[in-house]
Amino acid sequence: MEAAYQELRRRLGVVTDLNTAAELLFWDQTVMMPPTGARVRAGQLETIQRLAHEHAVDDEVGRLLEQLRPLEESLPYDSDEASLIRVARHDWEKARRVPPELAAEITRVASEAMEAWVQARAASDFESFRPWLERTLELKRRYVHCFEADGDPYDLLLDDYEPGMRTEEVRAVFDRLREVLPGLIDAAASDEQDAFLSGPFPEDAQLGLSLELLRAWGFTEDSWRLDRTIHPFCSSSGSHDIRLTTRYAEDDLTSLFTAMHEMGHGLYEHGVADSLEGTPLGTGCSSALHESQSRLWENVVGRSLPFWRWFHPRAQAAFPDVLGDVDVEQLHRAVNRVRRSFIRVDADEATYGLHIILRFELEQELLFGDLAVADLPEAWNARFREFMGVDVPEDRLGVLQDVHWSSGSFGYFPTYQLGNVVSVQIWERVREALPGIDAQLEQGEFGPLAAWLEEHVYRHGRKFTPRELLERVVGGPIDPEPYIRYLESKFGSAVAA
């Protein structure tokens, strides 16, 4: 039995090595690679991903998983061994359902469709992207048909990012937000301009200030990197090689919040227990749980008044000409302004949810309802007007703004907002466990917070489903009320005042 377990672990280790190598190749492509290297890199990635898939769905893995059932049942549910067998079985059964030819076609079309999307967005030309989106949707429906539908077919897509999450649960959370957010936005939205927020903020000073902040949160040169890219992301090859990326613009401070956001993802990966390294458990639990951590550090901490009491003098020192006369309340208010803007990634905490709910609805209608791709821009714009009360002037600022649909990532968008919701559920537990947390943030003491999150969330890696992990951490299922209380408290008084 021990030999079978070691053999399973070895085989899953090969898959993990290939997947993390592919992640590194992608990081390099985005951050370091000279552009003419793209063709060879595409071939390397295709080869490595195909081999990873072949090894992942190998018959022998299935045989070992069967053989190891008695071991799994004899061990505690949360042991490394039982968890690895359990999660690997879920992965294996899911991966086996998809014929390799379909998986390969999905990968190939995604690559071409992304290229088409880049062009289409630049030209704000939806029509040129339409056939690619139609083909991508068709492939996604074929993907769904590989599985036995015993409920909403969208459940299967959600499961790729949020194992076990059901569409009806998401809908219940989003319906509740849909009731609350418009009123909150009406009350808080402001057209006031904070002139100091447009800089100039020299890039070197932004980098220096970002690093000062990240170091206070746990960034060290021996395990982390911070590089520049166009679309920021966090990449890792396990918990000891974490790579954050950000971008700088002289006329705003977005780079700071991007750095905080990616650092939240990085802290999660960095906190996964060493014993899970080199296995499929050695990464975060789900997209929403991951996003709960990027948002907890970026928003719940990074846009809070206690945090800014610590950070304000540092920001002033970095940008004395621009921020020298701006007091901490002004700055805190400025970085929390609510606006009805078009672009999701620039959205504030109050409006963000509506951007997501719109996508959640439209992608279901595209996939399984009667919304034709040709009618999508009109549907997008009508829905946006309904949600936000403003007209989208061009598709570049509307339906073409996000990469996700071009890459076939249907089911991903809702996890962003679920992450926001979960971030505050977890934060309420943090406040109970660390009653001095506000004072700690004001003092720049982030260690207790990071340690609590590592102990209760990060170290478990992918051992548990999102539902199981949430139950362990907050004692219940996903619940929008803490998040609503948080938004109402923030935008109903302190900031909007």
Shortest CB 48 distance to its own copies, Å: 6
Does position 440 interact with its own copies (CB under 8 A)? The reply is no
Does position 34 interact with its own copies (CB under 8 A)? The reply is yes
Gap between the Cα atoms of 487 and 81, Å rounded: 41
Gap between the Cα atoms of 481 and 475, Å rounded: 14
- Tokens read off for 207: 């980098």
Helical spans, DSSP H, in 340-465: 349-368, 376-388, 413-433, 437-443, 447-456
Cis peptide before 482 (omega within 30 of 0): no
x/- letters, 462..491, toward its own copies (CB under 8 A)? ------------------------------
Does position 221 interact with its own copies (CB under 8 A)? The reply is yes
Shortest CB 217 distance to its own copies, Å: 16
Gap between the Cα atoms of 424 and 298, Å rounded: 12
Radius of gyration, CA atoms only, the chain: 23
The one catalytic residue in 23, 169, 262, 298 is 262
Q: Which residue number, 13 or 444, has a Cβ lying nearer to its own copies?
A: 13
* Residue found under tokens 């609510």: 338
- Tokens read off for 116: 């088409």
DSSP line for 196-234 = GGG----HHHHHHHHHHHHHHHT--TTTEEEEE-SS--E
Does position 198 interact with its own copies (CB under 8 A)? The reply is no
From candidates 35, 70, 76, 475, binder to its own copies by CB under 8 A: 35
- Tokens read off for 362: 């439209």
Burial class (CB in 10 A: 0-12, 13-18, 19+), 280: buried
Q: Which residue number, 461 or 466, has a Cβ lying nearer to its own copies?
A: 461
Does position 11 interact with its own copies (CB under 8 A)? The reply is no
Cβ-contact 452, 267 below 8 angstroms = no
Give the SS3 label for residue 161.
Answer: helix
Determine how β-strand 224-228 pairs with β-strand 242-246: parallel
Q: Which residue number, 29 or 440, has a Cβ lying nearer to its own copies?
A: 29
Cβ-contact 474, 289 below 8 angstroms = no
Backbone angles phi, psi at 192, to 5 degrees: -60, 140
x/- letters, 274..293, toward its own copies (CB under 8 A)? ---xx---------------
Does position 90 interact with its own copies (CB under 8 A)? The reply is no
Does position 328 interact with its own copies (CB under 8 A)? The reply is no
x/- letters, 149..188, toward its own copies (CB under 8 A)? ----------------------------------------
Active-site residue 54, yes or no? no
x/- letters, 415..434, toward its own copies (CB under 8 A)? --------------------
Does position 7 interact with its own copies (CB under 8 A)? The reply is no
Q: Which residue number, 46 or 212, has a Cβ lying nearer to its own copies?
A: 46
DSSP line for 252-285 = --HHHHHHHHHHHHHHHHHHS-GGGTTSTTSS-S
x/- letters, 50..79, toward its own copies (CB under 8 A)? -x----------------------------
Cβ-contact 77, 61 below 8 angstroms = no
Shortest CB 337 distance to its own copies, Å: 36
From candidates 4, 5, 30, 48, binder to its own copies by CB under 8 A: 48
Does position 39 interact with its own copies (CB under 8 A)? The reply is yes
Give the SS3 label for residue 79.
Answer: coil
From candidates 7, 17, 152, 445, binder to its own copies by CB under 8 A: 17
Look at residues 348, 304, 299, 308 and name the one whose alpha carbon lies nearest to residue 494. 304
Q: Which residue number, 18 or 189, has a Cβ lying nearer to its own copies?
A: 18
Does position 493 interact with its own copies (CB under 8 A)? The reply is no
Which residues lie near its own copies (CB under 8 A)? 13-14, 17-18, 20-21, 24-25, 28, 32-37, 39-41, 43-44, 46-48, 51, 221-225, 237-238, 240-242, 277-278
Active site residues: 262
